[in-house]
Amino acid sequence: MIVKPRIRGFICTTAHPVGCAAHVQEQIDYVAAQAADTQTGFKNVLVLGCSGGYGLASRIVAGFGFGANTLGISFEKAPAENKTGSAGWYNNLAFERAAKQRGVYARTLDGDAFSDAMREQAAEIIRQDMGQIDLVVYSLASPVRQHPRSGVLHRSSIKPLGEVLDIKTVHVEKGEVSEVSLEPATQEESENTVAVMGGEDWEFWMQMLQQQGLLAAGAQTVAYTYIGSELTWPIYWEGTLGLAKADLDRASRAITERLKGTGGSARVAVLKAIVSQASAAIPVVPLYVALLFKVMKEHGIHEDCISHIYRLFSTQLAPAAQQRLDEQGRIRVDDQELSAPIQQAVRERWPMVATDNLEQLGDLAGFREDFLRIFGFGIAGVDYAAEVNPLGID
């Protein structure tokens, strides 16, 4: 079949098998070019949320920058004869194939990482194939979580807290800037968002690994968060998602406490804004990202997903790294996004930006390009007019 992007709101319901594979390869090539000599420090890495965005980038840096064996877990859609699978499905295939060629172990489990059954399956594989894990990356982004103990299905809400928020946003497809009114979350919606995107499940994973003796001495774990600029605080950091991310901070302290005797530690890493399936769904964020990208590109300090994660691993997670921690003990690699000249320029543009000047003030084209690339479209060297097998390129 010939696969074209089919965009519905903030998702694309098709993915290009060859394009996704080429996108993974581009990221592998980037890492290979940075780390001419593979770094050491991680032997066995578990990546929760390994199929896209920051989790995939982490797996690529672990596997190809550090030569680590990786077990990845994600929740993706398999293809059928006449229907493409999700991008992450193809990304996982491409990663595994490349890892095999590179001679590093890679295994992927597809299913619900929030379930105890998945934890047990992962434990079994680690025991049999890997021994002990020395880095756990927690990079899940999901709108729902079925609680593994109570069975309750929690749904997250991306909402402000307290009062109605009137704020600018952009319709990414139409390129229209408008003002939206966002209703505040109820108490129940806030609690549900914390249940989905907070730290409880990270704790469950770490408890299981520790109890079953599957963590190496000094094992590290890192979970990803976003704080961002005051422009997005009302919808992110000061909204329901911020509550969930505060719970991640709580969990990092609790896990570190439990790991004390082993010399291990848990850290939250604050990352920059990028275009991912998860971030495209957050109101206001695409407009902020469009302005941010334009300004960061003008300053020559734009980082994409893979370059950002490479910097995280090589300067903050690698052994003997001088970590840049904030007062909460979080690793900060959002320093460039939040630097004064960048934020000042974005802040100046924010009140001025409108539909007719978005192209000059912002980089909506760059946002759209990155969005399509997530689904394997717009990747250099891929023949999009050619027939492809949706079942994969093997």
- Are 176 and 364 in contact by the 8 Å Cβ rule? The answer is no
Binding track, positions 233-262, relative to ligand NAD; x by CB under 6 A: ------------------------------
Closest by CA position to 70, among listed 108, 97, 38: 108
28, 50, 292, 346: which one binds ligand NAD (CB under 6 A): 50
Which residues does the annotation mark as catalytic? 236
Cα 4 to the center of its chain, rounded Å: 24
Instruction: Write the Ramachandran bin of 320: left for phi over 0, alpha for psi from -120 to 50, otherwise beta.
Output: left
Counting contacts by CB under 6 A, is residue 51 touching ligand NAD?
yes
Counting contacts by CB under 6 A, is residue 283 touching ligand NAD?
no
Counting contacts by CB under 6 A, is residue 307 touching ligand NAD?
no
The token pair at 224 is 């990803």
Q: What is the CA radius of gyration of the chain?
A: 20
Give residue number: closest CB to ligand NAD. Answer: 53
Q: Which is nearer to ligand NAD, 142 or 256 (CB)?
A: 142
112, 238, 303, 369: which one binds ligand NAD (CB under 6 A): 112
Tell me, by CB under 6 A, how many residues bind ligand NAD.
29
Q: Which is nearer to ligand NAD, 98 or 222 (CB)?
A: 222
Q: Which is nearer to ligand NAD, 66 or 237 (CB)?
A: 237
Q: Give dist(CA 346, CA 78) in Å, integer.
A: 40
E strand segments, the chain:
7-8, 11-12, 44-48, 69-74, 106-110, 133-138, 144-146, 153-155, 165-171, 176-182, 215-225, 265-270, 331-332
Q: Give dist(CA 269, CA 223) in Å, integer.
A: 6
Counting contacts by CB under 6 A, is residue 232 touching ligand NAD?
no
Binding track, positions 335-374, relative to ligand NAD; x by CB under 6 A: ----------------------------------------
How near is the Cβ of 318 to ligand NAD at its closest, in Å? Answer: 20
Sites for ligand NAD among residues 119-148 (CB under 6 A): 139-142
How near is the Cβ of 193 to ligand NAD at its closest, in Å? Answer: 12
Angle at 141 between CA 139 and CA 145, to 5 degrees: 115
30, 42, 54, 310: which one binds ligand NAD (CB under 6 A): 54
Q: Give dist(CA 340, CA 347) in Å, integer.
A: 10
Sites for ligand NAD among residues 59-78 (CB under 6 A): 73-76
185, 273, 361, 372: which one binds ligand NAD (CB under 6 A): 273
Q: Give dist(CA 364, CA 343) in Å, integer.
A: 18
Residues found near ligand NAD in the complex (CB under 6 A): 49-55, 73-76, 88, 112-114, 139-142, 224-226, 271, 273-274, 276-279
